[in-house]
């Protein structure tokens, strides 16, 4: 299905009214029985300009811009208990086999093909399936080839940090402006429960010694990046009973050393993945445990809450994966970069952003006027663009917002095993568990069956605001239910 903000929008109006008209002719009526939120105003302009097109470093940008990963770096120099080398790097990807590893030349062909066909593309990341800094020659060759052809693409890496200090100067020389380090501990005693061994200076270390070295190298790498003005994001895997109580201290420490963002991710632990934690019954955190930890870190390093733990070969907006459209066998033998679509798309986004900022301001006023003590959680079905523009039955995830008189805040997302229309409901489905503490679900359309089933489970749902900006619809609902009369919606 096409994204909401696409090149198609260049040729037709993007007002909510026009989109609602289009919805009417989509052939599916609602009565069918089928199944760091910081924006430009919050940051120095120079920093905003560096993150405004990066879907991971800006929550706002993730509604509009896409990243792609190329799996050119399979080798790794440490072992994490949440990783099985047969699967994607859990630092930056959900477990799942990488479809194919690429040479730097194959990666270039793939990136140019994607850039010609996915105008949202703004970032090229190398996030495994091993470690981008340990498998350095391939990382470096790929960035060098791609940046010559597409000079404005942002270059981004993710690393466990062990080999990072050896490459910081080259990263700065190559204009890599965004580096993620996975830091799960600042106390090597805790590290020893996460990392059985590391490989450093041609030698294998284990136990406490391994974690001491890793910790020292991670801190050194972070300080070196900060000193060179490179934006850093720290990823931490939240492992209940191991480091969950410790991650607040990690947050404080990385902030002290200049980290721009902290992304606390839930451990993904499934025996089927064959990881140490999966096989030994280590559980991952519940939604509310993750949110409680993130809330407890407020005031420290800025938190990222929109991470999708994407694959090492992901392509597209966060939350969608178009990787299977760009496998090697589908790529042309030769391809030339055409900048026109990406440039045209940016003009669309600039217009959308202006409108969205105005809508958010109206929403804030509506909520303030409601003058209520209520705080609610709202689940949104969206395909991007900051709008409620997805049919309930097609949603594979919901974006979660918290609303109160103080404002609307993005607080995370929740994935479903399957969309409702593909059988994602019924006795074994996760839908009700996923939405159990949600006050209302907002979608562009919903059929009678799921509406009834949600109603039975006591979950409210509405398709009253199709294609409206998320904040506009939430504030209108909130004011109607909990406070004074809402202002007129902005179309
Ligand atoms: Fe990739 Fe990571 Fe760069 Fe983003 S992902 S290397 S910073 S371009 Fe983003 Fe994916 Fe979360 Fe990573 S959603 S796993 S944070
Ligand atoms: Fe796996 Fe990544 Fe850890 Fe290496 S750094 S063991 S690839 S999760």
Task: Say if ligand 1 is within 6 A of residue 153 CB.
Answer: no
> Alpha-carbon distance 157 to 119, whole Å?
21
Same domain, 436 and 365: yes
Task: Give 423-462 pLDDT, tens digit per residue.
Answer: 555 544 577 888 888 999 999 999 888 888 888 888 999 9
What integer is the mean pLDDT of 175-198?
97
Helices 104-117/136-149 angle, 10° precision:
40
Task: Give 30-55 pLDDT, tens digit per residue.
Answer: 333 332 555 655 678 888 889 999 99
Domain count, the chain: 2
> Alpha-carbon distance 235 to 480, whole Å?
39
> Alpha-carbon distance 96 to 55, whole Å?
22
Task: Say if ligand 1 is within 6 A of residue 307 CB.
Answer: yes
Task: Say if ligand 1 is within 6 A of residue 58 CB.
Answer: no
Ligand showing the shortest atom-to-Cα distance for residue 312: 1
Choose one of 330, 345, 369: the last residue of a domain.
330
Same domain, 386 and 314: no
CATH code at 391?
Answer: 3.30.420.130
Ligand showing the shortest atom-to-Cα distance for residue 194: 2
> Alpha-carbon distance 258 to 452, whole Å?
50
Neighbours of 396 (CB within 10 A): 17
Same domain, 419 and 468: yes
Query: Taking all residues of the chain, what is their mean pLDDT, rounded to a whole number?
Result: 86
> Do 3 and 317 form a contact (C-beta atoms < 8 A)?
yes
Same domain, 362 and 325: no
Ligand 2 pocket test target in 77, 84, 160 with most atoms within 8 Å of CB:
160
Which residues lie across from 180 on neighbouring strands?
A: 158, 233
> Alpha-carbon distance 38 to 51, whole Å?
10
Q: Output 149 or 35, whichever has higher pLDDT.
A: 149
Q: How far is the CA of 79 from the centre of ligand 2 (A)?
A: 6
Q: Output 371 or 188, whichever has higher pLDDT.
A: 188
- Domain extent, residue 77, equals 31-330
Same domain, 299 and 163: yes
pLDDT of residue 259: 97
Of 230, 189, 202, nearest to 47 by C-alpha is: 230
Task: Give 352-411 pLDDT, tens digit per residue.
Answer: 888 999 999 999 999 999 888 999 999 999 988 899 999 998 898 999 999 999 999 999
Token output for 192:
């020893």
């Amino acid at each position: 299905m096409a994204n909401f903000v696409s090149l198609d929008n260049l040729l037709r109006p993007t007002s909510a009214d026009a989109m609602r008209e289009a919805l009417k002719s989509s052939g599916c009526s609602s009565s069918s029985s089928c199944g760091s939120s910081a924006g430009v105003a919050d940051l120095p302009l120079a920093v905003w300009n560096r993150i405004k097109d990066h879907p991971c470093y800006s929550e706002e940008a993730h509604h509009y811009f896409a990243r792609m990963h190329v799996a050119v770096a399979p080798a790794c120099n440490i072992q994490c208990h949440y990783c099985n080398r047969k699967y994607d790097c859990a630092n930056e990807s959900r477990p799942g086999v990488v479809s194919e590893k690429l040479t730097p030349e194959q990666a270039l062909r793939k990136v140019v093909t994607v850039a010609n066909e996915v105008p949202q593309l703004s970032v090229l990341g190398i996030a495994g399936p091993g470690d981008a800094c340990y498998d350095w020659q391939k990382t470096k060759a790929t960035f060098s080839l791609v940046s010559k052809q597409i000079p404005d693409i942002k270059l981004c890496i993710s690393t466990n940090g062990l080999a990072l200090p050896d490459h910081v100067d080259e990263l700065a020389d190559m204009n890599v402006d965004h580096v993620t380090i996975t830091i799960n501990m600042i106390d090597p005693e805790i590290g020893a429960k996460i990392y059985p061994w590391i490989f450093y200076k041609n030698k294998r270390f284990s136990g406490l010694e391994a974690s001491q070295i890793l910790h020292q190298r991670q801190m050194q790498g972070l300080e070196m990046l900060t000193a060179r003005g490179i934006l850093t994001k720290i990823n931490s895997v939240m492992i209940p009973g191991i480091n969950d109580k410790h991650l607040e201290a990690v947050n404080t420490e990385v902030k002290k050393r200049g980290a721009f963002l902290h992304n606390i991710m839930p451990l993904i632990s499934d025996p089927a993945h064959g990881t140490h934690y999966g096989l030994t019954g280590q559980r991952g955190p519940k939604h509310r445990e993750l949110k409680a930890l993130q809330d407890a870190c407020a005031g420290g390093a800025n938190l990222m809450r929109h991470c999708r733990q994407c694959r090492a070969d992901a392509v597209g907006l966060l939350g969608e994966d178009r990787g299977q459209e760009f496998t090697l066998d589908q790529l042309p033998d030769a391809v030339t970069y055409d900048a026109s679509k990406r440039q045209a798309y940016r003009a669309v986004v600039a217009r959308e952003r202006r409108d969205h900022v105005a809508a958010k301001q109206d929403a804030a006023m509506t909520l303030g006027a409601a003058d209520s003590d209520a705080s609610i959680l709202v689940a949104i079905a969206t395909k991007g663009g900051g709008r409620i523009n997805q049919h309930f039955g097609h949603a594979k995830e919901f974006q979660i917002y918290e609303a109160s008189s103080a404002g609307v805040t993005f607080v995370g997302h929740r994935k479903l095993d399957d969309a409702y229309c593909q059988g994602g409901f019924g006795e074994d489905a996760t839908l009700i568990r996923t939405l159990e503490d949600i006050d209302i679900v907002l979608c562009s359309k919903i059929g009678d069956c799921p509406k009834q089933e949600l109603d039975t489970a006591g979950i409210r749902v509405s398709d009253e605001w199709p294609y409206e900006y998320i904040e506009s619809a939430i504030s209108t609902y909130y004011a109607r239910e909990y406070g004074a009369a809402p202002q007129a919606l902005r179309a």
